[in-house]
Amino acid sequence: MIANWVFAILLFLTCIIYYFTLPYLSVFSLLVPLLFIINLVFVLFWAIKRNRRLLLSLSTLLIAYIVFGSFYRSNKESETHLDSDIKIMTYNVWGFNKNEWIKEPNIGDKIIDFIAEEDPDILCLQEHSRIRYRQLQQYPYRSETPYSQPRTIQAIFSKFPIVSSGSLDLPNTINNVIYADLLIDSDTVRIYNIHLQSFNIVPSSETFSEEQSQKNYKRLVTTFEKQRQQVEIFDEHRASSPYRVIVTGDLNNTQFSSIYRILKGDLQDSFLEKGEKFGRTYNLFGFPLRIDYILAEPEFKILSHQNFDVKLSDHYPIVATVRIKSEE
């Protein structure tokens, strides 16, 4: 069956692309979850017919599993938490709905209430609204995207003192990376808040028209190229950090992309360590994607990870609790 070969080859191709930064091909990494499902359907179909053709998709799925790991987690282990553990939230709040994309009242205030209820020690927001700091007085320290920059606003709110902070000033984009060095007991920890280049594709009935599909493909290729440049700038900056590092934020790309592979490096992904189910942080045409992350260096122990089904933005928040290993 030709279709079986096509989808098996496409999934195998994404496994190769994962290790290379090829913008014209990297767009296929967005299809990995769908390709997994289609190939699994072929395996079941041929298994029912007791046909050896199931080996094509089965072997491709095995290779993909080795490359990408599982995108569904079932982690029931619990850890004993200490008062010194660090609870971190990252959340793209979509400007606290100031443009009323969600047609419900008081969405911004509901986001504030949700944050207060979860009460993280460190709060990293993307697409922040500066005036909302007045409602976040539980955080005596904060760092935001500098006023002088015409960019989407990011913020790091902290219960720990901020001893220094900065911005990476990514070129030719409104997206950016900020960081803050926090004094946590006797340790200094650097927190990065990342918001990589957005795809800027709004799902609609015209999205799949021939003309629009060509435009969207070119836009995707351009976005992947910009993300590659941005993550290389970040990677160089992170390598020079004198402190232990935790990375949070909105990558605008999935864990199946070379962008994620480069950025993650030797960092621990809190979802892979302690997450459950699909770890959805964004819906695309109703399909769950994971594009928001909390990543920590090996010097931290990840104790828990939680995804929230809170529809107050186009993204869903995530929270992780970590411990500095020297405190164990």
Output the 3-class SS for 170-182. Answer: CCCCCCEEEEEEE
| pLDDT tens digits, one per residue of 226-262 | 999 999 999 999 999 999 999 999 999 999 999 999 9
| pLDDT tens digits, one per residue of 274-308 | 999 889 999 887 788 999 999 999 999 999 999 99
User: Side by side, which strands form the sheet with 155-158?
Assistant: 141-144, 155-158, 122-126, 86-92, 318-324, 300-307
| pLDDT tens digits, one per residue of 30-77 | 888 889 999 999 999 989 988 888 899 999 999 998 998 877 788 766
Q: Output the pTM of the full model.
A: 0.91
